[in-house]
Amino acid sequence: MELLDETDLKLLKILHENSSYTTKELAQMVNLSPSPVFERVKKLEKNGYIKKYIAILDAEKLNQGFAVFTNIKLKQHDRSIGHKFVEDIMNIEEVIECYNISGDYDFLLKVIVRDMKHYQDFVFNKLGSVKSIGSTHSMFVMSEIKNSYGAGVPLN
């Protein structure tokens, strides 16, 4: 891994907080001219420090404000069953995040739906169709306290 200098880290921090700044605005913030800032950002993208730029949507305004964390335990621990589970989960739109975890459960899903009735329908009709699931445990989000949307910028 190549070392990032202070300017690279500052650019990453700024873009992490708001990726809609123009190159000219970024240049002013890091006290450089636009051309080297443009090159630095392109290099950060090329080297994978910046994966992509996205818009963070307001789930409440889109009537999708009911968040649930669902722990999943597979029926068996077998490579083909695990791969099939991942394949099935990737095709379910309500699942916005999926993590393979250690401990009492095998996977942790973050699910976004309209309300409890929608979640019940999701469990019966979508999760229920995933044959590799042995058991589930759901935790309902009462309020989001902090979400920094991805990795933070490391301190040197």
CATH number of 38's domain: 1.10.10.10
76 plus 126 within the same structural domain: yes
Torsion angles phi and psi, residue 74, rounded to 5:
-75, 160
Tens-place pLDDT, residues 75-108: 988 888 999 999 999 999 999 999 999 999 999 9
pLDDT beyond 70 at 156? no
| The predicted structure's pLDDT at residue 103 | 95
Judge whether 33 lies within some domain.
yes
pLDDT beyond 90 at 129? yes
70 plus 136 within the same structural domain: yes
Q: For residues 4 and 39, give the distance between their C-alpha atoms in angstroms, rounded to a whole number.
A: 14
70 plus 104 within the same structural domain: yes
| The predicted structure's pLDDT at residue 118 | 96
Backbone dihedral region for residue 101 (phi beyond 0: left; psi -120 to 50: alpha; all else: beta): beta
82 plus 125 within the same structural domain: yes
Separation in Å, CA 134 to CA 19, 71, 79, 87, 114: 41, 11, 15, 16, 25
Judge whether 60 lies within some domain.
no
35 plus 82 within the same structural domain: no
Domain containing 33 equals 6-46
Judge whether 15 lies within some domain.
yes
80 plus 125 within the same structural domain: yes
| The predicted structure's pLDDT at residue 151 | 73
CA-based max dimension of the chain: 57
